[in-house]
Amino acid sequence: MTAEYLQTPIEYLKGVGPHRADILKREFNIFTFSDLLYYFPFRHVDKATVYKVSDIQSEGNYMQFRGNILGYQILGEGRSKRLAAQFFDGTGTLDLVWFNGIKWIEDVLAKNHTNVLIFGRPTLFNNRWNMSHPEIIDPTAPKENTITQHFFPLYNTSDKAKKAGLDTKGVAKLTAALLLDLKQRILPETLPAELIANHHLISLHEALFNIHYPENQEKLTQANIRLKFDELFYTQLKMLKLKLLTERKFRGHIFARVGESFNYFYNNRLKFELTGAQKRVIKEIRADMGSGKQMNRLLQGDVGSGKTITALLVMLIANDNDFQSCLMAPTEILAQQHYENISKQLGDMEVKVALLTGSTKTAERKEIHQGLLDGSIRILIGTHALIENEVQFQNLGLAVIDEQHRFGVEQRAKLWKKNRIPPHVLVMTATPIPRTLAMTVYGDLDVSVIDELPKGRKPIITKHLYEKDRSQMFYFLKQQVDAGRQVFVVYPLIQESEKMDLLDLEAGFEAMSRSFPLPRYAVGMVHGKMKNDVKDYEMQRFSKGETCILVSTTVIEVGIDIPNATVMVIENAERFGLSQLHQLRGRVGRGGEQSYCILMSGNKLSSDGRQRLDAMVATTDGFEIANFDLKLRGPGDLQGTQQSGVLDFKIADIIKDEKLVSYTRELAKRILEADPNLSSPENKILAEQLQKLMSREKFWGMIS
Ligand code: ADP
Ligand code: MG
């Protein structure tokens, strides 16, 4: 069976073996033949066309040329040893250079110097066109395989993989070997014949061959369409089916009453008037919670729009109906802060709140477990520690997830299981995403939006300064600090060179400490490598106003709320993504004072970097930023969505393929409306395919 054959472990593919298998698994998540088959190239190089040297207009494109080698010589010694050759095709010359495999190239060149084909990427060096490590096509070498290679696939790869010979060419060899093996077989189809015919799609078999090694441009286009169709259609079908199942199956707790704790808090403890948007959202949530069905709602609101207080009010309604609630945050610092804020806001009220994180001590943990079971703890706040199995509630009625983009669907599902009747679920996010995207990613959730900031907020003034203007920044900070304000200074973390990053951060801290010396000023520092208690201590000091400047990495990125902090300085701002910059900026501007965001960058900027910083200066609107971000980077890069796998499309592009997104959604909807269980014969293949997709996620096990 071809289906079983596709599940063969990747080490059994010709040319792989245990070491490379290990790399393929770790670097690319390729475990089986099927995984490799679905490891699509990001681009193809046209090897059918032979260009002229005079055709070269810019750097960066792979091109093929035919011409003569005028001469070559070996230069340098040791590591700089290289073979340099001159290539001429009648329209111009190219300097060729090889640093590796010199012996082999020399042999090839000794045999052929006229009418050779070379292939590579021309770059400009000292004003001359140059090509390093061109592929030289030796006409005397035996043909490697019979897969057509007019369009050569380029694959994403990594440094580690390259060391094991898995550069883009190495990967291409593997896909070629696999396809050669699959030529005698027919790959199983994933769509009903009628649907394929109606939409003029090519077969899955043909699509998978052509996506790697297309016969021609048209086949490549068709392969793209077919595979995008599959991906989007099944995503939609899955989402809609889930929505259907949750609506049908899950009875929800009815929160009928708004009682003492809500009213007391609202009338006596709430320090400000809710915004219209907050009131509207609470109404929407109340309607859900009174409907008898389980609520699954997404609450979107820009940073600082006041999602937390909204969640707290809803938790109090749960309490008034004799249910417990929990609030899950993505980081320990954030959980801690929610705990402190909420405890402070509740003040003398008799609603017991507890904090549970990874670093909660055993004795305390036991006490919390007990308090949850006997119902004395009414609100539990924590990190993902609160979804662990030992954590059991007496009667959990509502689960709130803060900054949803950090969590995957699976974590959401685990919360469902915390009660016999699943609790109402409210997920909150500050990452605004366009509508089509939201429908696809959160298709199973209803959406509420807080589209209004609390009154009296002054828009944050954003400025971009170059390194050469650093003294201006110091001068400005001095004014602010002397006026009693506090300042965040954030450094980027780049994973590859953690040590270097830490040095940067420490140097920054020292520079600040020198400019703002004790005893008059105090500067603090936090980073991810610190012990938790040290980190917390530093955060506390800043939060209490004992330090005036906090130098940190992005550990403070999400959610932290310190109203007296009015300046956010972002160092090497060009290295941050747009939505991350926006999140960071959202850490200031929370009190009544005018706040500022200063983006520091190197004197030289890439065009992308400049566009991002310009966008930050131009607008403080999260939706505008998100749209711009999508255009600039593509959705796969939307912060957080990648880690949580919610937008893990292999080939579809949710923005560029927007029409196909809506089309497949409508199609999936029509099919499910006519046949909700997909039980009719013509939908058999859909049911099977969906079952397969569902069983991959634990989530689905429980509802199907
Ligand atoms: P986010 O939506 O980013 O999570 P928070 O819930 O942290 O925002 O709220 C940001 C700040 O605004 C907090 O200090 C909160 O107390 C305050 N806040 C929330 N709602 C209002 C309101 N209606 N009026 C004034 N301040 C508010
Ligand atoms: Mg928040």
Q: What pLDDT is recorded for position 699?
A: 38
Write down the number of H helices and E strands in the chain: 26, 22
* Short-list 428, 446, 29, CA closest to 239: 446
More confident residue, 40 or 625: 40
Tell me the pLDDT band of 460, cut-offs 50, 70 and 90.
very high
Distances (CA, A) of 214 to 50, 176, 218, 452: 18, 12, 8, 50
Confidence of residue 696 (pLDDT cuts 50, 70, 90): low
Residue 406 has pLDDT above 60, yes or no: no
Confidence class of residue 556 from pLDDT cuts 50, 70 and 90?
Answer: low
pLDDT tens digits along 337-362: 899 889 999 999 999 999 999 989 99
Rounded CA-CA distance 316/323 in Å is 9
Distance in Å, CA 307 to ligand 1 centroid: 7
Using a CB cutoff of 5 Å, list residues around ligand 2, an ion: 559
Indicate whether 145 pLDDT > 60: no
Residue range 537-547: mean pLDDT, rounded: 90
Question: Between 465 and 444, where is the model more confident?
Answer: 465
Residue to mutate (ligand 1; options 403, 558, 561, 587; most atoms within 8 A of CB): 561
Higher pLDDT, 97 or 700: 97
pLDDT digits (tens, 9 = 90+) for 625-675: 877 877 776 544 444 443 334 456 788 877 678 788 889 988 999 999 999
Residue 665 CA to ligand 1 center (angstroms) comes to: 36
Residue 104 has pLDDT above 90, yes or no: no
Residues in the chain: 704
Q: What local confidence, expressed as pLDDT, does residue 525 receive? A: 94
Query: What band does 409 get if pLDDT is binned at 50, 70 and 90?
Result: low
Pairing of strands 424-429, 396-401: parallel
Lowest mean pLDDT among 267-271, 402-406, 416-420: 402-406
CA distances from 483 to 41, 90, 463, 479, 548 (A): 56, 72, 20, 6, 11
pLDDT for the residue numbered 636: 46
Averaged confidence pLDDT in the chain: 86
For residue 519, cis peptide bond before it (omega within 30 degrees of 0): yes
Q: What is the pLDDT of residue 35?
A: 93
By mean pLDDT, which of 193-207, 404-418, 662-676 is the weakest? 404-418
pLDDT top residue among 137 and 28: 28
Specify the ligand 1 atom closest to the Cα of 309: 6
Ordered DSSP codes for 163-217: HTT-SHHHHHHHHHHHHHHHTTS-PPP-S-HHHHHHTTPPPHHHHHHHHHS-SSH
Q: Could you say which DSSP state residue 9 is in?
A: B
Rg (Cα) of the chain, in Å, rounded?
A: 30
Asked if pLDDT for residue 408 goes beyond 90, the answer is no
Ligand 1 atom showing the smallest separation from residue 308 Cα: 6
Q: For residue 702, name the pLDDT band (cuts at 50, 70, 90).
A: very low
CA angle 47, 86, 64 (to 5 degrees): 5
pLDDT confidence tier of residue 233, bands split at 50, 70 and 90: very high
Q: Which ligand has an atom closest to residue 271 CA?
A: 1
Q: Could you report the per-residue pLDDT of 557-603, keeping only the tens digit for each?
A: 555 778 899 999 999 999 888 878 988 898 898 888 899 999 999 98
Question: Sorting pLDDT into bands at 50, 70 and 90, what band is 120?
Answer: confident
196-235 per-residue burial string, b: 16 or more CB within 10 A, e: under 16: beeeebbbbebbbbbbbbbeeeebbebbbbbbbbbbbbbb
Higher pLDDT residue, 48 or 166? 166
Q: Could you identify the atom of ligand 1 that is nearest to the CA of residue 273?
A: 23
The pLDDT of residue 457 is 83
Share of the chain above pLDDT 70, in %: 89
Predicted pLDDT at 223:
96
Ligand 1 contacts (CB < 6 A) are 272, 274-275, 278, 301, 303-309, 430, 454, 559, 561, 563, 590
Nearest-CA residue for ligand 1 atom 5 is 306
Q: Identity (one letter) of the amino acid at 548? A: C
pLDDT band at 252 (very low <50, low <70, confident <90, very high): confident
Q: Give me the mean pLDDT over the 420-444 stretch.
A: 75
- DSSP annotation of 417 reads T
pLDDT of residue 49: 80
Would you state the pLDDT for residue 646?
Answer: 46
Confidence of residue 498 (pLDDT cuts 50, 70, 90): low
